[in-house]
Structure 1
Amino acid sequence: MTQAATDRSQAHWVQAFLEAQAAELDAATNTQLAYGRDLLQFADWLDRRGLHFATATQEHVESYLIDCEAEGLSRATRARRLSAIKQLYRFAFEEGWRGDNPAIRIKGPGRSKSLPKTLSVEEVDRLLAAARDHGRQPTRNRCLMEILYATGMRVSELVELPVSAARGDPRMLLVRGKGGKERMVPLSGDARAALADWLAERDRAEEVARAQGTPASRHLFPAMGKAGHLTRQGFYRLIKDIAVAAGVSPSKVTPHTIRHAFATHLLAGGADLRSIQTMLGHADVATTEIYTHVLEDRLRDLVLEHHPLGKAAPKA
């Protein structure tokens, strides 16, 4: 450890680390924000004890994690915080700010293996049907729902789609995902029809707005807010309203459960994991493999409910 390392503020350590992540690993903005929050929490804990990133030991990191558990933080949150700390110290070692990584031997609590919630095909059909005449912009709402289920894209990817990606009746959409990585996702016939209807309506509305001096929007789903497009929060509220209209429990319906439904229904239909991995934008196929467990559970329940051998024997 150098004197210069202790002279640098902990905020400087965090900022330098985040800048390196952005430059070298092309880390997504949301990932950087999460790392920043986690590391500042650890920095505050150290500061209250007269410690510094440069002087903390393995025992200090372990004590911090114990305090996190005592606060009631989930296993996933604690695992994420430890991951951020490990990566900060890996960066510090490479920069020569420390001669060791005090977190490298610490094993995390691990993440819970809860299976993703999903929806049945019948429930999705009801949601799609309800979206066709829901709200003040039913054409847009139908387009949003059809594209989400047809592609399984993340909600941020959906609401941030540029209108240029949708021109020319595309069979595929170019999606910019985590870390700015691009991938192609196919559109179903229903999604293409919904997209064409929405583009026609959107362009008519924009032509009127342009005549009134409003500049053209580059987003497929424009909105008046600062972002210039429908926000994730706005879509979240919309999808809950659609669930109510469809008679599906709103607690079951989020943009992410429709993404899970896309993957699970594809797998049930015979699609291979590698193809689903590519369409979902998962970096590791292990992330996609969880859907095999979802399908196994659904098939087991189906057998127990409908197969004669799965039912309890009648009492004599």
Structure 2
Amino acid sequence: MKRLFLIGILFVFITILSACQSVYNQLGYTPSEAYLSNFCSKAENKNACELIEKSSYNLCDTYTENCETVNNDTWSYLLPSKETTTIDPIECEKLSFSSYYKERCLTASAFDSKNKETCNLISYERNKWVCVIGSATSENDCNDIPKNKKMSTGDHFSFVKDECLLSLALRDKDIKLCTKDSNKNEAGWCISTIVSNYGVDKTVCDSLSTTSTPGKSYYTTEYDACYYGLAQFNKDVSTCSSIKTNYLKAECIGKVGTINDCDNIPDNIMEEGSYYSMSDGCVFAQINKIQDVNFCSHTTTNEGHDFCVDLYVRITGDKQPCELIKNAQLKTTCKRQATLND
């Protein structure tokens, strides 16, 4: 009787475990390596495993020609597509044991064929919209997306239509499409990314809007974003002088120029209410680029010096320079943060 009871408990446990695995897969999680190894060892699963190999690796590596132009995996589907082996969506259905692989496979298929109808086979909302964005071929495809549709439930920032326009703009190197993004920070990033990688004539930058959107966009204006990118493309520090926003001009000089160029900047504040000078902002950009803590001596404010040292420590993990910070509270924070990173 006791043995039957234990067998019953074991049966219930296995049933619950199987149900959990099913839910786990439905949520899009990847099966364990052991599970996959066992699955792929069977001859009848050979084709399905080949699909896994085609569809489960990083889409950035597979479907874009230059992932270095983006710093965030979120944007990995936005750049120009490479030639790839077309995947039949019917074949993707064979991966029913894992919604993760199945939906990656369907996305890969839609990307290859530019057939957004394939995306309707995807159940997870965000994955579906990534698929739609990646398979869009024209601005009309983006305009078909409801204006206020978010990438996923609870997403407070990303509108699908904006992401779609951004995708097309980057693929087609079309600055005008960037400007149609309602998120002005994304629009500025889009313009700067295209120009810094492919270049444009100055007349293109001059034709863009100089209307400021303070508090809404890091780049402030389309015009500034364009010249910020152009200076990087041409590696010409003099181009930074065309930027009207102080903090972006300072960062531009720091990105493109040398520490000596930072010394030659007029000692203006970076922006209203800021503790830092433009020289400070330029040095911060140099620290990000070269990581030499000695550059912090080129800052012109105490606040700028301390922030510069703290920035260096956060980038490099070297906590010794924390001692150079004058502000006692920031010095303590610097040491604590560096210790946490050990």
TM-score (norm 1): 0.28
Using CA pairs below 8 Å that are at least 6 residues apart, which structure has the higher relative contact order?
1
TM-score (norm 2): 0.26
